[in-house]
Amino acid sequence: MASKPNPPTQASMAKALNVSQQVDSAPSHASRVTQKFLTDQQVQFLRPQQWMPHSPDAAPCGYFLWGHLKNKLNKRRVSTLRSLQKAIREEVKKIPQEIILRALKSWPKRCR
């Protein structure tokens, strides 16, 4: 019987695409275990010493998506985790493509 293929991990995809990962300073990202894992997997990543100051301002989720969702979700009534998850999915689907593209186009100037 053939075994099921393993789905690609973020680390394996980053390595295959030859891109660098930037993680934030969350304890799970900055831990020696995580840093060693990324090194062992030969994933290029920015070490904490290389992070830009205020790096959340450089990520589209940080400077656009989370604030947008917070504004939309504050107008809705949710009482369970399941209803919150559903509301998030609905609000993300409602974001016009033009707004997403505008947010992404502002990214290069945030990295200067």
pLDDT tens across 65-93, in order? Answer: 889 999 999 999 999 999 999 999 999 99
Is 2 contained in some domain? no
Residue reference for tokens 């450089």: 58
CA geometry: angle at 75 spanning 59 and 105, to 5°? 25
Q: Are residues 84 and 42 in the same domain?
A: no
More confidently predicted of 62 and 74: 74
Query: For residue range 1-48, what is the model confidence (pLDDT) as tens digits?
Result: 555 555 556 666 666 766 667 666 778 877 888 888 878 878 777 776
Q: Are residues 57 and 44 in the same domain?
A: no
Q: Are residues 68 and 105 in the same domain?
A: yes
| Phi–psi pair at 21, nearest 5 degrees | -95, 140
Instruction: Give the whole-angstrom CA distance, residue 70 versus residue 18.
Output: 33
Domain of residue 14 covers 7-51
Both tokens of 41, joined, read 């997997």
pLDDT the model gives residue 99: 92
Q: Are residues 58 and 105 in the same domain?
A: yes
Instruction: Give the whole-angstrom CA distance, residue 104 versus residue 96.
Output: 13
Q: Are residues 61 and 83 in the same domain?
A: yes
Domain tally, the chain = 2
